[in-house]
Structure 1
C-alpha cells in the first residue's frame, strides 16, 4: 500500500501535467505509470526526476537494453520491487529474451553472493585492480 495517492490527470498541477504529457510523447503511449503519478504530489521533484532519467536512460555509449538490465540489477540489489518489475518489462520491450533474463538473474545472484562473502571476509583489494 502506497503512502500517497496516485494522482489522475485531472488532479495534478499544470506543471505535473506537462511532465505527464512529455512522458507520453517520449514513450509513444497514453500510459503514465504509478511512479510518476505518486511523484506528482511534488511537481518540482517530478520534473527533476523525469529530466534526469531522460538523460541517463537516453542515447549514449550503452545500448538501451543494457541500461534497462543494469537498472534491473541495481533495483534487485536495493530491494525495489517496483523498479525490478517496471525495468524488467522495459527490458523485455527492448528485446531482452528469456535466456538473457535468466543469465542476468544468474549474474545478479552470483554478484550478491560473492559481494557478501568478500564483505564478510573484508578482503583487501588487489593492487592491480586499483585504478
Structure 2
C-alpha cells in the first residue's frame, strides 16, 4: 500500500503533467504507472528523476534490454517487488525471451549465494582483482 495517495491526472501540478505527457509520448501509451503517480507529489523531484532516467536508460554502451535486465537484478537484490515486476515487463517488451529470463534468474540466484558465502566467510579480495 502506498504511503502517499496516487495522483490522478486531474490533480497534477503543471510540472508533473508535463512529465506525464513526456512519459506517454516516449512510451507510446496513455498509461502512466503508479510509481510516477506517487512521485507526482514532488514536481521538482519527478522532473529531475524523469530527466535522469531518460539518460541512464537510453541506448548507449549497453542496449536497452541489457539495462532492463540489470535493473531486474538490482531490484531483486534490493527486494523491490514493484521494480522487479515493472522492469521484468519492460524487459519482455524489449524482447527478453523466457529462456533469457530463466538464465537471468539463475545468475541472480548464483550471485546471491556466492555473495552470501563470501560475506559470511569474510574472504578478502585477491590483489589481482582490485581495480
After TM superposition, the score normalised by the length of structure 1 is: 0.98
Aligned to 2:23: 23
Counterpart of 1:114 in structure 2 is 114
**Moved beyond 3 Å, runs of 4+:** none
Residues 31-83 of structure 1 show CA distances to partners (whole Å, capped at 9, x for unaligned) of: 10000000000111111111110000012110110000000000000000000
TM-superposed CA distance for 1:105, in Å, is 0.3
Task: Identify unmatched segments of 5+ residues in structure 2.
Answer: none
**1:80-121, Cα deviation, whole Å (9 max, x unpaired):** 000000000000000000010000000000000000000011
TM-score, normalised to structure 2, is: 0.98
Match of 2:74 in 1: 74
Distance 2:27 2:52 in 1: 15
Distance (whole Å) between structure 2 residues aligned to residue 62 and residue 15 of structure 1: 30
Q: Distance in 2 between matches of 1:70 and 1:27?
A: 20
Counterpart for residue 63 of structure 1: 63
User: What is the rounded CA distance, in whole Å, between the counterparts of 2:104 and 2:6 in structure 1?
Assistant: 31
- Aligned residue runs from structure 1 range 1-131, under 5 A: 1-131=1-131
Equivalent position SS for 2:10: coil
Return the alpha-carbon distance in structure 2 between the equivalents of residues 24 and 39 of structure 1. Answer: 16
Structure 1 unmatched ranges of 5 or more: none
| CA RMSD, Structure 1 to Structure 2 (Å) | 0.5
